Amino acid sequence: MPSLTPNPAAPVRASGTFTVGTRRVHRLGFGAMRITGPDVWGEPPNADQARSVLREAIRLGVDFIDTAQAYGPEVSERLIAEALHPYPDGLLIATKGGITRRDRHDPGRPDGRPERLRADCEGSLKRLRVDTIDLWQLHRIDPDIPLEEQIGTIRELRDEGKIRCFGISQVTVEQLEHVRTLIEVATVQNRFNYADRAGEDVLAACETHGIGFIPWYPLATGRLAGPGSPLAQAAARHHVTPSQLALAWLLHRSPVVIPIPGTGSIAHLRENANAALIQLTSHELRALDATSADD
């Protein structure tokens, strides 16, 4: 199926903006997980291509890049600095810490020990070549460490000027409310996409409190993109792919949503960016919202 012709004039700017802390960014960002090796482990097959993807993201208007210490580990952050430092004005780079991985088959385990959180932050500062991390996110809450200790360390890093804003990942509404009693929360990063909307309640809480909601795995559509489905029909009407339509749906879903589709391909990056140009009608949105994986 043909997709929108790549627009050289920064198409992501059509996505609107959201303010993270005091920084206004366009709501279609870039997730830097896929610029590493297979299973987000080790070096990418082609490091020059990975750096080219990052530079093309900036050319397309991306001013929000999300990465993590665990991506590689450390590889994604290093490639970002190699490709983009000194960073263009207005670029916000978010990273994460608090996850330990042993090998490419290990999805990661929470490690919220204060010394680990501090080491992750310090390491990210060096790899990204910055004095302050714009948005530092706790990758997972460690159930074995008192939350007050984890957040206390993060507050110290913020007070030392090493972190500007704080975000949290993969939380329930109850956890988010607890964290908010300990520190100001700028963003939440939870799994959320057209096929998996289990995080609707967390998204609603973010809307209530003006917190940015960063959906990871944003392009998943599952069987909801099958022939004759509302998603497939809408994609055909707009002459785009179902994945582009699913990304456009996320952008229309809430003004606090900041999707971060990731890829190691420039062609796929351009396709994702042009999803910001898709304008969905109220009728289409109602049909798309009414469809769920349980149907």
Catalytic residue numbers?
71
Q: Which two tokens stand for residue 243?
A: 């994945």
Q: What is the spatial distance between Cα 199 and Cα 106, in angstroms, rounded to a whole number?
A: 24
Q: Tokens 């990418």 sit at which residue?
A: 44
Through-space distance between the first and last CA atoms of the chain, rounded to whole angstroms: 25
Helix or strand (DSSP H, E) at 247: helix 242-253
Q: What is the spatial distance between Cα 212 and Cα 207, in angstroms, rounded to a whole number?
A: 8
Query: Which residues are 19's β-sheet partners?
Result: 24
Strands 99-100 and 109-110: antiparallel
Q: Which two tokens stand for residue 127?
A: 């790899």
Q: Which two tokens stand for residue 232?
A: 């497939």
Q: What is the spatial distance between Cα 135 and Cα 29, in angstroms, rounded to a whole number?
A: 13
Q: Which two tokens stand for residue 163?
A: 């972190």
CB-CB contact of 218 with 261 (8 Å): yes
Q: Cβ–Cβ contacts within 10 Å for residue 288, how many?
A: 22
Q: At what angle do helices 242-253 and 266-273 cross, to 10 degrees?
A: 40
Q: Which two tokens stand for residue 274?
A: 């042009």
Query: Which residues are 216's β-sheet partners?
Result: 191
Helix or strand (DSSP H, E) at 48: helix 47-59
Ramachandran angles phi, psi of 71, nearest 5°: -80, 95
